[in-house]
Structure formats: C-alpha cells, structure tokens
Amino acid sequence: MNIILLGPPGAGKGTQARYLVDTRNMIQLSTGDMLREAKDSGTEMGKIVADVMARGDLVTDEIVIGLIREKLEGDKAGGFIFDGFPRTLAQADALAELLEEKGEKLDAVVEMQVDDAALVSRITGRSTCGDCGEVYHDETKPWPADGKCTNCGGTTQKRRADDNEDSLKQRLMEYYKKTSPLIGYYYAKGQLSSVDGLGEIDGVRAAISAILDA
C-alpha cells in the first residue's frame, strides 16, 4: 500500500507516519528529513538547500523528485508513506509517473486538516529525539523528565532551525500557494480522504487506520 500524507507544516504528518511504520511495516519517505540529512552531512546539495529551508521556501522540484526516485529503487516493505511529498503539481505528476514505471499505484491520499492557529503552537513547541527521530511537543508530549527518549533511550533533544514563527509564516504561504491545489487534484482523481488533524494523536491515528483498512 502506497499513501500520501498531505497537510500544512505541523499537521502531524511525521507523527502519524512513524506510527504507520511501526504498525504496518511501511517505509516513511520524508523529503524534509532527506534534505535535513543532506544539509547536516554537508553535501553540495545540502549546502544549496540550507538557506532555502531556513527561509521556509520550497526546494526545487528537480532536487526532491531526484531524492524520491532514488528511494523508490530500494526495499518497499509494506509500502511507502510519502510525507511532505509531493508539494507541487509538478511533483504530483512526477510521482504518478515514477509509480507507474515501478508497476506500483497510489492507494490513498490522506489530507490532514488543521486550523492555522494550532500550527504556530505545534511548530514552536516541537522537538525530536536526535537518535531515533521520535517527535515530542513541549505541552502535549513533553521531552521526558529523566532526559531519555521513551522510544530509544537517546539523550539528545533537537529543535529544527525552521521551527520559528517567521519561517512558519513563509512555509504556510508556500503551502497555500503551491501545495494546497493538490487537494483538488487528488479529489478529482478520486483518491482523496480527509481526517480532522486537530484531535488527539490517538484519534487521528484511528481515523487514518479506518481509511487505510476500508
């Protein structure tokens, strides 16, 4: 099963993708994580994208499509979760072509609906485990008091450089200008389902599971 999690920054795509990886043996393909990895390891491409990401702008279609193409060559296990990809109509068309080349199809596009006011607090309160990537939030899922990640025991709490109000405004602007048209695109293709992303994490999980099991 191959699915897209679609939603604005902070909608909970990464949080839900991790759960699907654990419970359905799926592979999370987060273009944001891939780009951050390239940035941290100081590759040429990482240097090119660093400023773009810090500003909250989108990286070029060519770069992210190339990253996804490479990943589709590898193990597909229980299927792919596209998290943060596609983000433009050109990326959506490229994904359709890549899947077709591999004899694969897209089984569901899950739009996570969250109101903009909630996103500021979600983004500015977010941290992750530097070792396993478990996602935390200062209010709803605080970093453990003993300083150890509940998932892996790691002790490094990380915050993203673009998780501030200024970058978030730009990320939201990019989302509404370039990514939100994908909602209509997938609706017209008969592939779109929507969940209320404002509920408790477990409730959102259940809603997504119901769509995937239908």
Residues assigned a catalytic role: 13, 87, 126, 159, 171
Q: Give φ, ψ of 73 to 5 degrees.
A: -75, -25
Sheet with 126-129: list strands edge to edge. 135-137, 126-129, 157-158
Asked whether the beta carbons of 14 and 67 are under 8 A apart, the reply is: no
DSSP class of residue 41 equals T
User: Known binder of ligand: residue 82?
Assistant: no
- Taking the least distance from each CB to ligand AP5, the nearer of 10 and 154 is 10
Contact between 201 and ligand AP5 by CB under 6 A: the answer reads yes
146/200 with CB nearer ligand AP5: 200
Site string for ligand AP5, 101-130 (x = CB under 6 A): ---------------------x--xx----
Q: Does 205 bind ligand AP5 (CB under 6 A)?
A: no
| Short-list 193, 191, 198, 187, CA closest to 209 | 193
Q: Which residues contact 12 (CB under 8 A, 6 or more apart)?
A: 112, 114, 122, 197, 201, 204
Report the alpha-carbon distance of residue 78 to residue 24 in Å, rounded: 6
Q: Which residues pair with 194 in a beta bridge?
A: 111
Q: Tell which positions 46-105 bind ligand AP5, by CB under 6 A.
A: 52-53, 56-59, 64, 84-85, 87, 91
Binding site for ligand AP5 (CB under 6 A): 7, 9-15, 30-32, 35, 52-53, 56-59, 64, 84-85, 87, 91, 122, 125-126, 135-137, 140-141, 171, 199-201, 204
Residue numbers belonging to the annotated binding site for AMP: 31, 36, 57-59, 84-87, 91, 160, 171
